[in-house]
Structure 1
Amino acid sequence: MDVWQMLAALSVVLLLSVSLVANLLVLLCYGASADLRKQVSGVFVLNLTCCNLLLTLLNMPLTVVGALRNDGSRPYGEGLCRAAAFLDSFLTTNAMLSTVGLGLDRWVAVLFPLSYDSKMRRRDAAVMISYAWLHSLAFPSASLALSWLGYEPVYASCTLSPHAAPPGEERATTANSSSFVAFTLVFHGLTFFLALVVLCLTYLKVLKVARFHCKRIDIITMHTLILLVDIHPSVKERCLEEQRQRKQRAPRRVCTFIGTFALCFGPHVLTRLLELLPWVSVARPWGLFTKCLAYSKAALDPFVYSLLQRQCRGVLEGLINRLVRRDALPEPRKNGAPLPRLPYSGEPLGSDAGPSSLSPTPS
């Protein structure tokens, strides 16, 4: 077994572990918090999380088995391979469209903050999720009917493949046929490239609005600092530091949303398109590397869209406090000493006067 095979298998196992734990934590947060479940964006997050979790449990283990084989032969039966290929295309496409839904939700929230509740309702989110499911089911169903789902040794996984042609057809004829090339181009054009264009348009518009509001806040902050002549230098420095962080926050988030999508899915999609050319031959180490990048999106999504958000962090902290029994409870009395009495409203701290006492009067 080559070193790169072992590294690829270990990478997929690591991604599987991180993705499984992170996506289960997201489901735990939404199960424990009613406020998170009330948010419209939670519909897209839960759909994305379920897709990533199913991809982690059903497809990644099969890729590990395929990466460890030296001969490049299919390590499991034809029926299981076609089912895994169908799920791979369906779940990946559904995850892409779920991220598009999250981008549209944030676009509406930033551009129409006062009418957000009327423009983006749970019913609207359910309609968008239904379209995502229909869109995601269409292409795998067509490829299954055309016998274009099979095992690809270059990627050590079952996916869209000309190798799964019906008996009697040669690989070169199928791979170079106009129908297979057209199907592949339409499939990736209406999934990855469409999602990337929508994400760029929505988040760049969000960034433009955020910069506009940031400039207004900066003008108000500078005018305030000029008027407050006797302000302490440390307070002024802290205000300027918060101003610098505010300028960097929106570009950093936009780059994270678009960058993770493009860097994780882009190399794999471009490789699948380039291999349609008859003179292009994809090396197996590169194919496994691009497949690992595509799987890494399932491990990154929980952190990008949920776990690093302030509300999810608060829910997790509350759950951890329950587990370690760190709830705020009164300390037990020592040596029978009474609990201290709290002062009444308007009563000076430390005063023992009052109409009554919370502790029993010693006889």
Structure 2
Amino acid sequence: MDTAEVFLSVLVLVIIIVSLLSNVLVLICFLYNPEIRKQVPGVFTLNLTFCNLLLTVSNMPLTLVGLVSTGQPGGGDTFCQLVGFLETFLTTNSMLSMAALSIDRWIAVVFPLRYHSRMRHRDAALVLGYTWVHSVCFSTAAACLSWVGYHQLYASCTLHDPGESDRTQFLVFTVSFHCLTFLLSFIVLCVTYLKVLKVARFHCKRIDVITMQTLVLLVDIHPSVRERCLEEQKRRRQRATKKISTFIGTFMVCFAPYVITRIVELFPSIPIDHRWGIFSKCLAYSKAACDPFVYSLLRHQYRKTCRDVLNRLLKPSSFNASGRGQHDHETRVRNNGVPAAAE
């Protein structure tokens, strides 16, 4: 292994650890907090978390083994086809779950008064059902046509070119798959989040007008207070833009290089270095490690739940430690011949 392959191996290992810990933490928060379970977006978040966890424990370790051993990991072709089926299904389901989350946010922000009537748990189940049907159809079609297997360019079990006999069919399938999955999800993300950003900026502008009118009326206000109000206006305008940029930016940075590489791969005349292929695969894997922070753990409700879980775990330890300390103190007192009541 050269230096680049060692770096890629370490990168995959780090992604596995971060993805496993962060997604498990999201799952713990979901199970611990009933308020999170009652919310409709929690259905999409839970589905996304399960997809990321399954991808972390099934596909990423095999990619690491394939990268280290520079060959197909053990288990045979049937096992690799099963893993390739899972990879196609889970990646597709994750992308569509992100699109579903963006639709939910769009309805909540643009139609706040009608949100509870337009997005109920039943409606979320129907949207989730579509993501599953969509993912199962593409992954099953690829598996039935023997278009999944070990791919040396990505050191993983994934969609694989069958050869000259079915190249045209595979080309049509691959382009259709990425257009109806990656491109469709990207368009939904852009349309919905840009609508959300437009509404958020409109509300910020109204708040800014009210704030400025208040500052004009309060002529005796201290300059430092006025400055803090203006800084808060600026932060409020930037906050919505940063969130929207994070949602769309992480999707593009993680998935776009891999999808573009898969499309370019369809043209044999264009050479692709295997290190770039593995790196693009690592970027796609890294989305599973980013999603818990982008959609869950950085939100106030999840942070508070994490603190509550941590405090609940630490309290028994503190109680046991204090109990042992009191017991040791009483033992020392008795050994010294002094009654404990005299202390």
Structure 1 length as normaliser, TM-score? 0.85
CA displacement 1:124-180 (0-9 Å, x = unmatched): 000000110000000110111111111101100011101xx4xxxxx3444xx3211
User: Counterpart of 2:305 in structure 1: which amino acid?
Assistant: V
Q: Which residue of 1 aligns with 2:50?
A: 50
Q: Distance in 2 between matches of 1:294 and 1:110?
A: 29
Q: Which residue of 2 aligns with 1:351?
A: none
Q: Distance in 1 between matches of 2:22 and 2:80?
A: 27
Q: Which residue of 2 aligns with 1:80?
A: 79
Unaligned regions of 5+ residues in structure 1, if any? 166-170, 333-363
Say how many residue pairs are matched.
319
8 Å Cα contact 1:103-1:203 kept in structure 2: yes
SS at match of 1:324: helix
SS at match of 2:271: coil
Q: Distance in 2 between matches of 1:74 and 1:180?
A: 24
Partner residue of 1:282 out of 272, 279, 282: 272
Q: Distance in 1 between matches of 2:160 and 2:235?
A: 47
User: Counterpart of 2:233 in structure 1: which amino acid?
Assistant: Q
SS at match of 1:210: helix
Unaligned regions of 5+ residues in structure 2, if any? 323-343
Q: Distance in 2 between matches of 1:100 and 1:41?
A: 12
SS at match of 1:68: helix
Structure 1 residues 75 and 4, CA, compared in 2 at 3 Å: closer, same or farther?
farther
Q: Which residue of 2 aligns with 1:237?
A: 227
- Computed over aligned residues only, the root mean square deviation of the Cα atoms, in angstroms, reads 1.6
Q: Which residue of 2 aligns with 1:118?
A: 117
Compute the displacement of 1:308 (Å): 0.2
SS at match of 2:112: coil
SS at match of 1:116: helix
SS at match of 1:325: helix
8 Å Cα contact 1:65-1:75 kept in structure 2: no
Structure 1 residues 119 and 73, CA, compared in 2 at 3 Å: closer, same or farther?
closer
8 Å Cα contact 2:84-2:158 kept in structure 1: yes
Q: Which residue of 2 aligns with 1:32?
A: 32
Structure 2 length as normaliser, TM-score? 0.90
Q: Which residue of 2 aligns with 1:157?
A: 156
8 Å Cα contact 1:74-1:153 kept in structure 2: no
8 Å Cα contact 1:81-1:158 kept in structure 2: yes
8 Å Cα contact 2:200-2:240 kept in structure 1: yes
User: Counterpart of 1:207 in structure 2: which amino acid?
Assistant: L
Q: Distance in 2 between matches of 1:98 and 1:42?
A: 11
8 Å Cα contact 1:26-1:49 kept in structure 2: yes
Compute the displacement of 1:75 (Å): 4.4
Q: Which residue of 2 aligns with 1:17?
A: 17
SS at match of 1:276: coil
Q: Distance in 2 between matches of 1:25 and 1:112?
A: 31
Q: Which residue of 2 aligns with 1:270?
A: 260
CA displacement 1:191-225 (0-9 Å, x = unmatched): 00010011000001111111111111100000000
8 Å Cα contact 1:103-1:199 kept in structure 2: yes
Compute the displacement of 1:241 (Å): 1.2
CA displacement 1:316-335 (0-9 Å, x = unmatched): 11112222229xx9xx9xxx
1:307-322 equivalences in 2 (<5 Å): 307-322=297-312
- Structure 1 stretches of 4+ with a deviation exceeding 3 A read 72-76
SS at match of 1:147: coil
Q: Which residue of 2 aligns with 1:200?
A: 190
